[in-house]
Amino acid sequence: MNKTVTINISGIIFHIEEDAYDKLSKYLSTIKGYFSKTDGGNEIMSDIEARIAEMLQSKTSAVKQVVLMADVDSVIEAMGKPEEFAEGHTEKEEQEDESFQSSEPIKKRLFRDPDNKAVGGVCSGIAAYFDVDIVWIRLAMFLLIFFGGLSLWVYIILWIVIPEAKTTAEKLAMRGEKIDINNISKTVKEEAEQLKQRAKKYGNDLKNNSQDFRNDSRNFFDKLGDFIKDFLIIFSKFFARIIGLVLLIFGVVFMLGLMSSVFGFSIAGTNTEFNDWVNIFFMDRSHYTMGLIGVSLFFGIPFIMMIYGGIKLLFKIHYSNRWLNISAGLVWFVGFIIVLFVGIKTGKDFGEAGKVKEPIKIETERDTLFLTLTKSKELYSRLNLNEEEYDDYDHEGNHVRIHKRHSDYVVANSDKNKLIVGYASLNILPASGDNFELYVIKKARGEDKRAAVARAKSIRYSISQNDSIISFDEIFTVDASNEKFRMQDIQVILKVPRGKVVHLDKSLDGFIYDVENVTNTYDGDMVGRRWIMNINGLECVDCEGIMFDDEHDLPKPPAPPAPPINVEASEANVNIGKDGIKINSKEANVHINDKGINIDTKGEKGEKGEKGGK
């Protein structure tokens, strides 16, 4: 179904399809432009129109009432293109044509200027539209290249969106009426006025209609429908420019964001550390590149279409390129498929979790285990990690990383290959039997359970024992040359039988993770102390009198009586206790308590002094 327009050519009425009408009227105004300055221009015009009417009449009949695009095309072909009319002119007339200016202002439209073009005529078209010297536009375009190549793709979009001024009429419209604030406000006012009048008219129509509403209810709804339709059309016309501008701005901003992030990722691809991550994260390096392309297309195409639509609305370009829309849709779809493919491929490799539990025998008969940590610094040097990278992780000269743990991974270079380095953790649980039990739980993810378990097994981690001293590696490593990063993790579990004790070295701070204990002491406060496994769980052996952070708010238990302090000196024995201060020496015994000071010089021992005090 197509909309038709009714026109009158040389007194004959034609029904003509809208797009055919556009073409015909453009054609006629072009011819008019040619002959308006010639003697008898109007006459020529009306002769031509009469001929066109005749030709169109021969193309319509009672059966085929509407003039179609093809009809207009054949008429134009027979009549000749405006350029061919120049043949009938003398050179003088042609010169006049070039300086020809219509007495009636022609509505200005944005076109590409093929006559002054350097590349696509975009700059010259814009210059003509805004009536500024082309040099400035070109300069601006050139300068914008330094903003992430902004103008390059903007130029390409404009090239696609803006139609080329092919006919003389289009070239006239390209230079047409000067665009300034007055003009724009005039257009806006006209459109607003149009809106108002339309609303008024329909308002009246409705009023009239409602009177004979009963007689003709169908008519009423028809009118209402028409009104809403018309209102929407005019309304959208009125706001088209504003919407266009908003679309354009957002499109450009989003596009810039996307470009800079994609650009950033591409640049980062040359950075070694980032590069390492790309290699160990994606199954294949091409997946990364594909992902980047896919994401660019998937997000970029809608942004470009926003800009495209925005420009079209803003400059009222009624020219749509079906081929462009279809190919944009296709390219977007390709981007979508690529993103999906890479996402599924990579995601699938993280799909299943697998773990292995490796028991480690503890060779000691003692009741207390001393747990300590082999710090990463030593491990790094054992791994021959190069100095520079070591500094990277430890630039302040101390173990910065030790406290930033869990889920922190590092890609490191050893002599032979690259390693994925992760941080292990330790948990302490009660044992069911009478012996210490030690387990290393290795975890990883993979395409399926088997792959995940195999991957977990390949994690390298070591614990060293020296009688009752157990030293845990702070880090575990994965050979990055034949393994990928798949959430590898190491959890060490030490099971302590009831009544036995573990001493947590201060170095374990950050290594023990969420260890449950009777007093709900934080991991960080547990280190440096001995803990005994009781029925209820781990209990601190040597924490008495020490206030932990989490106990501030609890009611303080009564302070236990302080143990007696004995000072053994060569001449005197000083005892400070609940009985007061007693000083015993060969010459005298001194006893100070709440009852006073008692001094016994008989050389007798403490018992006498006490008695004397009483």
Partner 1 sequence: MSVNSENTRAQMRKGVLELCILSILSKGDAYPTEIIDKLKETKLVVVEGTLYPLLTRLKNTGLLAYRWEESTSGPPRKYYKLTEIGEQYLKEVQQSWFELVDIVNKTIDQQKN
Q: Choose between 50 and 68: whose C-beta lies nearer to partner 1.
A: 50
Positive or negative, the CA dihedral 424, 430, 432, 433 is: positive
Buried b (16+ CB within 10 A) or exposed e, 506-533: ebbbbbbbebebebebebebbbebebbb
Among 13, 18, 54, 233, which residue sits at the site for partner 1 (rule: CB under 8 A)? 54
Supply the minimum distance, in Å, between the C-beta of residue 115 and partner 1: 20
Query: In the sheet where 66-67 sits, what is the strand order?
Result: 4-9, 12-17, 66-67
**How is residue 556 written in tokens?**
């303080």
Closest separation between CB of residue 38 and partner 1, Å?
Answer: 7
Minimum distance from residue 73 beta carbon to partner 1 (Å): 14
Of the two residues 35 and 111, which places its CB atom closer to partner 1 in the complex? 35
DSSP assignment, residue 400? T
> Nearer to partner 1 by C-beta: 83 or 467?
83
How many residues contact partner 1, by CB under 8 A? 27
Count of residues making up the chain: 614
Closest to partner 1 by CB, 87 vs 607, is 87
Instruction: CB nearer to partner 1: give 90 or 398.
Output: 90
HSE-CB at 48 with a 13 A cutoff on CA atoms is: 24
Residues 495, 431 contacting (CB under 8 angstroms): yes
**Min separation Cβ 233 and partner 1, Å:** 34
Binding part of the chain for partner 1, among 31-39, 165-173, 303-311, 463-471 by CB under 8 A, reads 31-39
In the 8-state DSSP scheme, what is residue 220? H
Tell the smallest beta-carbon distance from residue 170 to partner 1 (Å). 18
**Residue nearer to partner 1 on the CB measure, 77 or 514:** 77
Considering only residues 191-250, where is the footprint of partner 1 by CB under 8 A? none
Q: Please state the closest distance from residue 72 (CB atom) to partner 1, in A.
A: 14
Using CB under 8 A, pick the residue from 16, 20, 31, 338 that binds partner 1. 31
Q: How far apart are CA 327 and CA 319, in angstroms?
A: 16
**Interaction pattern, residues 33-52, with partner 1; x per rule: CB under 8 A:** --x--xxx--xx--xx-xx-
Q: Would you count residue 53 as binding partner 1 (CB under 8 A)?
A: yes
Neighbouring-strand partners of residue 439: 359, 493
Scan for tokens 């008019």, then name that residue: 32
3-state class of 284 per DSSP? coil
Nearest to partner 1 of 88, 149 (CB atom): 88
The minimum distance between CB 4 and partner 1, in angstroms, equals 20
Residue nearer to partner 1 on the CB measure, 91 or 549: 91
* Residue given tokens 């630039």 in the structure block: 395
Closest CB to partner 1 among 51 and 355? 51
Return the structure tokens found at 128.
Answer: 């003509």
* Contact set for partner 1, span 60-89 (CB under 8 A): 78-81, 84-85, 87-89
Quote the least distance from Cβ 42 to partner 1, whole Å.
10
Q: Which of residues 169-188 bind partner 1 (CB under 8 A)?
A: none
Separation between Cα atoms, residue 53 and residue 13, nearest integer Å: 9
CB of 70 to partner 1, least distance (A): 18
Q: Cα–Cα distance between 539 and 246 in angstroms, integer? A: 66
DSSP state of 364: -
Closest separation in Å from C-beta 10 to partner 1: 4
Residue with smaller CB distance to partner 1, 83 or 284: 83
| Among 107, 81, 103, CA closest to 37 | 103
Given 25, 57, 261, 465, the residue binding partner 1 (CB under 8 A)? 57
Tell me how far, at minimum, the Cβ of 324 lies from partner 1, in Å: 32
Choose one: 6-14, 178-186, 305-313, 517-525; the region binding partner 1 (CB under 8 A).
6-14
Q: In angstroms, what is the minimal distance from the CB of 85 to partner 1?
A: 5
Chain positions 84 to 123 lying near partner 1, rule: CB under 8 A, are 84-85, 87-89
Beta bridge partners of 512: 426
Nearer to partner 1 by Cβ, of 88 and 499: the residue is 88
User: Which one, of 369, 382, 386, 538, lies nearest residue 474 by Cα?
Assistant: 382
User: What does the block give as tokens for 454?
Assistant: 């195999």
454 contacts 353 by C-beta, under 8 angstroms: no
Scored b (16 or more CB within 10 A) or e, 20-49 reads bbebbebbbbbbbbbbbebeeeeebbeebb
Residue 65 to residues 7, 70, 71, 174, Cα–Cα distance (Å): 13, 14, 12, 35
Residue closer to partner 1 by CB (options 11, 558) is 11
By CB under 8 A, name the binding residues for partner 1.
9-12, 31, 35, 38-40, 43-44, 47-48, 50-51, 53-54, 57, 78-81, 84-85, 87-89
